[in-house]
């Protein structure tokens, strides 16, 4: 036998002995320490999977769902629109032929029959009940009950409206509320008594395509119109004499939603009322659109870090409009932030905004003084990062 073959045989035998040894070790039964370690690891993994105690408290989605329903009810009742919806339903049920009217006296008497006291009193009563009932609930649940931990729910946790401003917004808001109830009562009596409206009640009356398009067209059209109305009211003259009243509330609450100048209030209401006279739209989607708009009007003024749902990619979070109140001339959109993005009025990280900087473009930080930068930095620090989509203040 040659030396090389001997060496190869020795090496092969050594490898086999090593493999046999490892196989023997791996096949040996685990000792008590290994079993204990493995059991502990399994228990830890199981504990991590089961550490959520659903029975400890009522799930958050229950409270959030109930709160959404309450805000929804407040939205459809605070301006008396529920009465308009009822009037539309009553008109649908009435199959009698419209009456030919003679002079203006007879025209007004018939078209606005039962306006006073039936419709107006009903509208204002329900509006007040829900406005103060649900608005009061939001106020006491958050602003009183959770005042000690505002960093968990408030858009501006370090700033609060004074008691004087709270009373002020409720007084101004109540006046607008009454005005809105008056308008809704007028519209309800008009519709119920056979007055002209482009609303219709038969599904598919104008074809399937129009039935699919009418709601998004009405929604987009009214929202874009309110963007421009809002932006016009931020021009120096209109801001000083009308819209500045609404910006008295730098930290808005649910009561701020109707606390605006009556002239501006009428302008905005005309935009929302316009579809029921300008083009055919079914009563159901039109009423749904109004309810949606009013619901988010309350949400966006609440000062609470409500966020849009997964099925609302167009809807800005509450902090979007809260920024508008905090920084004044920026973020003019209501239910769609796209208008601000395409018109350059969307808030930008590299700019500062103040009440005396008009036109929605802000001031570049490279042009700001040290004092302006310090003041702006303080405002940014007052924002709650939890109010943003990723729980991070994107402007810091």
pLDDT digits (tens, 9 = 90+) for 226-256: 999 999 999 999 999 999 999 999 999 999 9
Token reading at 161: 């409206």
Token reading at 220: 């987009």
Domain residue ranges in the chain: 68-387
pLDDT of residue 12: 45
For tokens 């008295």, what's the residue?
248
> 125 near 216, Cβ under 8 Å?
no
6 pLDDT exceeds 60? no
Phi/psi of residue 352, each to 5°?
-110, 150
Cross-strand partners of 339: none
Confidence of residue 89 (pLDDT cuts 50, 70, 90): low
Confidence of residue 201 (pLDDT cuts 50, 70, 90): confident
pTM for the full predicted model: 0.76
Token reading at 203: 């599904």
Averaging pLDDT over each range in 11-15, 106-110, 184-188, which range is the top one? 184-188
332 pLDDT exceeds 70? yes
- Region 301-319 average pLDDT: 95
How many other CB atoms are found less than 10 A from the CB of residue 378?
10
pLDDT of residue 15: 45
Token reading at 233: 């009211």
pLDDT over 70 percentage in the chain: 73
Between strands 199-200 and 281-282, the pairing is parallel
- Region 86-103 average pLDDT: 57
How many other CB atoms are found less than 10 A from the CB of residue 230?
21
pLDDT of residue 71: 65
> Out of 11-25, 43-57, 153-167, which region has the weakest mean confidence (pLDDT)?
11-25
**What SS3 state is found at 288?**
helix
**What SS3 state is found at 363?**
strand
Confidence of residue 312 (pLDDT cuts 50, 70, 90): very high
Its sign, for the CA torsion 274, 71, 326, 261, is positive
188 pLDDT exceeds 50? yes
Confidence of residue 24 (pLDDT cuts 50, 70, 90): very low
pLDDT of residue 1: 46
pLDDT of residue 195: 87
Residue 118 burial class via C-beta count within 10 angstroms: exposed 0-12, middle 13-18, buried 19 and up: middle
More confident residue, 353 or 121: 353
Residue 102 burial class via C-beta count within 10 angstroms: exposed 0-12, middle 13-18, buried 19 and up: exposed
Confidence of residue 65 (pLDDT cuts 50, 70, 90): low
> 247 near 232, Cβ under 8 Å?
no
Between strands 351-352 and 363-364, the pairing is antiparallel
Residues 6+ apart with CB under 8 A from 379: 326, 327
Residue 370 burial class via C-beta count within 10 angstroms: exposed 0-12, middle 13-18, buried 19 and up: exposed
pLDDT over 90 percentage in the chain: 58
330 pLDDT exceeds 50? yes
For tokens 């219709």, what's the residue?
200
More confident residue, 302 or 20: 302
306 pLDDT exceeds 80? yes
> Out of 122-131, 211-220, 307-316, which region has the weakest mean confidence (pLDDT)?
122-131
Token reading at 59: 């799930």
> Residue ranges of the alpha helices (H) in 115-261?
120-138, 163-192, 208-232, 236-241
> Residue ranges of the alpha helices (H) in the chain?
3-27, 32-50, 60-77, 81-93, 104-111, 120-138, 163-192, 208-232, 236-241, 262-273, 275-278, 283-301, 318-327, 338-343, 370-381
- Region 284-297 average pLDDT: 92
> Out of 59-63, 214-218, 282-286, which region has the weakest mean confidence (pLDDT)?
59-63
pLDDT, the chain, mean = 83
pLDDT of residue 33: 61
- Region 54-74 average pLDDT: 58
Residues 6+ apart with CB under 8 A from 70: 134, 137, 138
Q: What is the pLDDT of residues 100-145, one digit of tens each?
A: 555 666 666 777 888 888 888 888 888 888 888 888 899 999 999 9
């Amino acid at each position: 036998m040659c030396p090389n073959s001997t060496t190869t045989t020795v090496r092969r035998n050594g490898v086999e002995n090593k493999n046999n040894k490892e196989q023997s070790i791996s096949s040996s039964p685990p000792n008590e320490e290994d079993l204990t370690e493995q059991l502990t690891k399994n228990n830890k993994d199981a504990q991590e999977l089961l550490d959520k105690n659903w029975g400890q408290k009522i799930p958050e989605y229950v409270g959030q769902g109930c709160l959404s329903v309450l805000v929804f009810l407040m939205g459809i009742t605070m301006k008396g629109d529920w009465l308009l919806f009822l009037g539309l339903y009553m008109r649908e049920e009435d199959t009698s032929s419209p009456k030919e009217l003679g002079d203006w006296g007879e025209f007004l008497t018939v078209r606005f029959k039962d306006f006073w006291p039936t419709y107006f009193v009903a509208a204002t009563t329900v509006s007040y009940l829900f406005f103060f009932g649900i608005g009061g609930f939001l106020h006491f649940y958050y602003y009183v009950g959770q005042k000690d931990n505002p960093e968990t729910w408030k858009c501006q946790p370090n700033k609060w409206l004074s008691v004087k401003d709270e009373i002020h917004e409720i007084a101004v808001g109540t006046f607008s509320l009454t005005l809105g109830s008056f308008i809704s009562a007028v519209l309800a009596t008009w519709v119920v008594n056979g007055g002209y409206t482009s609303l219709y009640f038969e599904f598919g009356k104008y074809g399937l395509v129009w039935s699919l398009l009418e709601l998004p067209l009405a929604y987009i059209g009214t929202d874009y119109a309110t963007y421009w109305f809002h932006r016009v009211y931020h021009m120096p003259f209109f801001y000083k004499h009308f819209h500045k009243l609404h910006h008295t509330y730098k930290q808005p609450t649910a009561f701020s939603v109707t606390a605006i100048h009556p002239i501006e209030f009428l302008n905005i209401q005309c935009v929302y009322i316009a579809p029921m006279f300008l083009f055919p739209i079914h009563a159901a989607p039109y009423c749904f659109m109004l309810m949606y708009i009013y619901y988010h009007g309350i949400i966006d003024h609440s000062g609470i870090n409500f966020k849009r749902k997964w099925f609302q990619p167009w809807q800005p979070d509450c902090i979007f409009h809260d920024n508008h109140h905090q920084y004044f001339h920026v973020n003019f959109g209501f239910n769609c932030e796209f208008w601000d993005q395409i018109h350059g009025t969307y808030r930008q990280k590299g700019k500062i905004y103040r009440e005396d900087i008009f036109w929605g473009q802000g001031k570049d930080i490279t042009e700001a003084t040290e004092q302006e930068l310090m003041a702006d930095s303080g405002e940014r620090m007052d924002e709650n990062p939890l109010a943003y989509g990723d729980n991070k203040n994107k402007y810091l």
